[in-house]
Amino acid sequence: MALKYFEFYRGNLAAGFETIAGKRMNDHAFIVTRHNDDHLPQLDIADDSVDFSRKRQQIIQHDFKLHRFENDWQDVGFQWDNIERRLSELTADWQAEYRQIKAGPTDEWGLRTFDEATQVEQQFVGANAYPDNFTTL
């Protein structure tokens, strides 16, 4: 697997969605978080212009789309190989969809990954149902 990016979200329409996304660029990698209480716009991690790094700090501060996230990203260049390995291990046996009907608020979640080597995007989604190893995510 040559993970280029991932995006994980969890929440519901009533309470909002918390999102964590990460991407590997040529010489660095980062994660960016969007909490469910934030009034931040959705960020398309697949967009080539979404790029956070210390070298680009001046650009981030003045970019209309990125400046709102300037305090919500973290450099994970040294950890990226471990993130990639762990996601691959966790999702190896996952189905594409998990659903269960229950009373009360819905707990929605989703994970999207893109493998640069195979050019394949995978998506996993769920509503009130989870893979067996979901809590270790």
Confidence (pLDDT) at 24 = 95
Q: Which amino acid is at 136?
A: T
Tokens of 34: 């969007």
Confidence (pLDDT) at 87 = 94
The CA-CA-CA angle for residues 68, 84, 88, to 5°, reads 125
The residue assigned the tokens 């009034």 is 39
17-42: pLDDT as tens digits: 899 999 999 889 999 998 876 676 77
Please report, in angstroms and rounded to a whole number, the separation of the first and last CA atoms in the chain: 18
Q: Which of 79, 76, 60 is nearest to 68 (CA)?
A: 60
